Amino acid sequence: MQYFKKFLFLFSAFFISYPLVAQEKAASKIYAITHVNVIPMDTEQILENHTVIVENGRITRVAPSAEVKLPQAAEEIDGRGRYLIPGLTEMHGHIPGEDRPQYVEDVLFLYIANGVTTVRNMLGNAYHLKVKKKVERDELPGPKIFAAGPFFNKKLAPTPEAADREVRLQKEAGYDLLKMGSIDKETYERMAMTANEVSIPFGGHIPEEVGLIGALDAGQRSIDHYDRYVEFLVPDDATTEGVSAGFFGSGLIQLIDRSRIPEAVKRTVEAGTWNVPTLSLIEHLASPIAAEKMINRTEMKYMPEDVLDGWLKFKNTYSKRQDFQPEATKALVELRRELTKELHDSGAKIVLGSDAPQFFNVPGFSLHREMEMMVNAGLTPYEVLVTGTRNPSLYFETPEEFGTIEPGKRADLILLNANPLEDISNTHKIQAVIVKGKYYNREALDKRLAEIEQAGKD
Asked if residue 412 binds Zn ion (CB under 5 A), the reply is no
C-beta atoms surrounding 322 within 10 Å:
10
Q: Which residue has its beta carbon closest to Zn ion?
A: 355
**Looking at 12-20, 95-103, 120-128, 250-258, which segment touches Zn ion (CB under 5 A)?**
120-128
For the CB of residue 342, give the shortest distance to Zn ion in the complex, in Å. 24
State whether residue 86 is helix, strand or coil. strand
Q: Is 355 in the site for Zn ion (CB under 5 A)?
A: yes
Q: How far is the CB of 75 from Zn ion (least distance, A)?
A: 39
Q: Which is nearer to Zn ion, 141 or 357 (CB)?
A: 357
In the bound state with Zn ion, the residue whose beta carbon lies nearer, of 148 and 167, is 148
| Nearest approach, Cβ of residue 164 and Zn ion (Å) | 25
Between β-strands 83-86 and 413-416, what pairing exists: parallel, antiparallel or unpaired?
Answer: antiparallel
Query: C-beta of 426: minimal distance to Zn ion in Å?
Result: 27
Binding range to Zn ion, per CB under 5 A, among 5-13, 19-27, 349-357, 384-392: 349-357
Angstrom CA distances, 10 to 1, 13, 422, stand at: 14, 5, 52
Instruction: Find out whether 308 and 295 touch, Cβ atoms under 8 Å.
Output: yes
DSSP-derived pairing of the beta strands 274-276 and 349-350? parallel
Q: What's the full length of the chain, in residues?
A: 458
Q: 194 vs 361, which CB is nearer to Zn ion?
A: 361
Nearer to Zn ion, 184 or 355 (CB): 355
Stretch that binds Zn ion, among 62-70, 117-125, 142-150, 169-177 (CB under 5 A): 117-125
Size of the site for Zn ion (CB under 5 A): 2
Min separation Cβ 346 and Zn ion, Å = 26
Distance in angstroms (rounded) separating the CA atoms of residues 37 and 39: 7
CB 314, min distance to Zn ion, A: 13
Return the range that interacts with Zn ion (CB under 5 A); candidates 41-49, 309-317, 327-335, 355-363.
355-363
- Give me the least distance between CB of 393 and Zn ion, in Å please: 21
How far is 264 from 249, CA to CA, in rounded Å?
15
Cite the beta strand spans of 272-423 per DSSP E: 274-276, 349-350, 413-416
323 near Zn ion, rule: CB under 5 A: no
The distance of closest approach from Cβ of residue 220 to Zn ion in the complex, given in angstroms and rounded to an integer, is: 16
Interacting stretch for Zn ion, rule CB under 5 A, among 14-22, 52-60, 119-127, 428-436? 119-127
Stretch that binds Zn ion, among 64-72, 103-111, 296-304, 350-358 (CB under 5 A): 350-358
- Contact region with Zn ion (CB under 5 A), list: 57-65, 121-129, 252-260, 331-339: 121-129
Minimum Å distance from CB 94 to Zn ion?
6
55/355 with CB nearer Zn ion:
355
Q: Indicate whether 215 belongs to the interface with Zn ion (CB under 5 A).
A: no
Type of residue at 390: R
Q: Smallest gap, in angstroms, from Cβ of residue 245 to Zn ion?
A: 18
Q: Is 184 in the site for Zn ion (CB under 5 A)?
A: no
Among 88, 95, 122, 261, binds Zn ion (CB under 5 A): 122
Please name the residues in contact with 19: beta carbons below 8 A apart, sequence gap of 6 or more.
none
Question: Helices (DSSP H) in 38-125: which residue ranges?
Answer: 101-113
- Closest CB to Zn ion among residues 83, 146: 146
Q: In whole angstroms, how close is the CB of 92 to Zn ion at the nearest point?
A: 5
C-alpha span between 222 and 224 (Å, rounded): 6
Q: Which is nearer to Zn ion, 94 or 144 (CB)?
A: 94
Q: Return all residues near 354 (Cβ < 8 A) that are at least 6 apart.
A: 90, 92, 93, 278, 280, 281, 361, 366, 367, 369, 370
Contact status, residue 142 vs residue 111, Cβ threshold 8 Å: yes
Is the Cβ of residue 77 or residue 95 nearer to Zn ion in the bound state? 95
- In terms of CB distance, is 276 or 377 closer to Zn ion? 276
Q: How far apart are CA 67 and CA 290, in angstroms?
A: 55
d(CA 293, CA 101): 29
- The DSSP-derived string for 298-341 is GGGGGS-HHHHHHHHHHHHHHTTSGGGSHHHHHHHHHHHHHHHH
**CB nearer Zn ion, residue 122 or residue 245:** 122
Asked if residue 86 has a cis previous peptide bond (ω within 30° of 0), the answer is: no
Question: Which residues have CB under 8 Å from 394's CB, separation 6+?
Answer: 349, 403
Minimum separation from the CB atom of position 358 to Zn ion (A): 6
Buried b (16+ CB within 10 A) or exposed e, 121-138: bbbbeebbbebbeebeeb
Give the residues lining the site for Zn ion (CB under 5 A).
122, 355
